[in-house]
Amino acid sequence: MMFRILGVMAAMALVAPSVAAGAEWRYAIEYSPSYSSNITRAADNEIEDYINGVTLELGYQERSSVLEGSVTASVEHFSYRSGLFQDETRTALDADLRWALVRNRLFWVVEDRATVEPVFYRQAWTPGNIQQTNVFATGPSLSYRLEGSNRVTADLRFISSYAEVTKEYQSNRWYLATSLIQQRSIVTDLSANLTLTSTDYALSYADDFQQADLFLAWERRRSGSGFRLELGGVAASFDEEGERYTSRLGLVWNRVISSASRIRLVLVHGLSDAAQSALGTVSATPAVRGRFTALGRNISSQVYENNELGLSYRIEWARSNLEAIVNYQKQIYVNSRDMDQDLLNASMIWSRGFAGGISSELGVLFTGTEYERDGRKDSTVVPFWGLHLQRSSSIYYSLRVDREIRDSSADGQDYDELVVSAAIGYRY
């Protein structure tokens, strides 16, 4: 995985001299020492540690008639003074690229999400409980206008998922989406949609499956506000466990309340799995996804019925921003009901800019999980404060203080950790 990310970064650097008009490169290097009062996040016998971190990041963005999208790749190296954990290198990649092969008609799309996830998702995130994961998707997208106000779209994707430790997560799948769209007015579309997915897992005991979604969608867009409703059904056929059926519901409502405030509501019901939830829209028809915050994901091959509600609100005034987010998910696993779980994420973050290149942020994060298997309940609260100083167009400094408090009904899973981190960086 690391060699892949490094290869992407090297290729990005090599093509830098031939940047197209409308393209932008970003380079950054950062040194970030930090202190943890409880590096193992243990209930008792807390161990302090000092960590040195170095991050190299490359980013590219282009909006042209040939290529539209962005890539951000980073490599982070951490060393732990206590010696309790070995030095580690983490990589991340976030890519969304869309090449126009035939103007306004045929495109080639690449999506890639590389990040770190927990190995044991019910345990605290520590340096010894993380793994690299990656989901990669690529393929063509076609958009063709028929007579009148009708058009048809089709998307074909090859999707590959990888996990460093959890091998059952590794899979190859083919995804096909087709839509017949009728433009009812300048601001309104009505469409009939069909998606087909065939998933083949690397391990023989993981249950391969095929999935079909058939649904109608109605979408309305007007002056910064929008509404989309999807209604239909889902059928899944598993090689070992047989067939499963459920309904499909998707609702996205955005509204610009004023020039300085906006609200967003999302409702989702349907089938998903860990790899699907990692990707964004893989279809030219906007997918309904309710992910506002990074929920801890159960990295596995198991398919679940996802019931999700998300609400976000943002307001800006006098150099200040306030954003509040709530996201709730109820995951009912199709073939392994003892994995069922309820997840709640909420956050409120206030940020403000000051004169002299100074900015600050203050906020609180909350995550709560209830597991069906044993009734276990975990809740985590993270208040934090950050201060940033931009000394020039390239050099910046930052200071951040986090306190993470976990309350768990399971023995030995409570913990309290204070983290103080600083950073000095250069970006171009």
Strand pairing category for 67-80 and 88-102: antiparallel
This prediction has a pTM of: 0.87
**C-alpha dist (Å) from residue 164 to 127, 136, 296, 366, 397:** 14, 15, 17, 28, 33
Contact 43, 52 (CB under 8 A): no
Written as one letter, the residue type at 52 is N
Please give the Cα distance from 128 to 351 (Å, whole number). Answer: 33
What pLDDT is attached to residue 11? Answer: 52
What pLDDT is attached to residue 149? Answer: 87
What pLDDT is attached to residue 7? Answer: 55
Written as one letter, the residue type at 47 is I
What pLDDT is attached to residue 121? Answer: 85
What pLDDT is attached to residue 229? Answer: 97
**C-alpha dist (Å) from residue 149 to 185, 218, 219, 228, 406:** 9, 15, 15, 19, 55
What pLDDT is attached to residue 2? Answer: 57
Reading the block at residue 193, the tokens are 């949609």
What pLDDT is attached to residue 19? Answer: 53
Query: How many helices and strands (H and E) does the chain possess?
Result: 2, 20
Please give the Cα distance from 43 to 41 (Å, whole number). Answer: 7
The rounded radius of gyration (Å) of the Cα atoms in the chain is 23
Residues of the chain with pLDDT under 50: 15-17, 281-295
**Counting every residue, how long is the chain?**
428
Strand pairing category for 261-272 and 304-317: antiparallel
What pLDDT is attached to residue 280? Answer: 56
Please give the Cα distance from 207 to 302 (Å, whole number). Answer: 8
Strand pairing category for 242-258 and 225-238: antiparallel
Please give the Cα distance from 170 to 147 (Å, whole number). Answer: 43
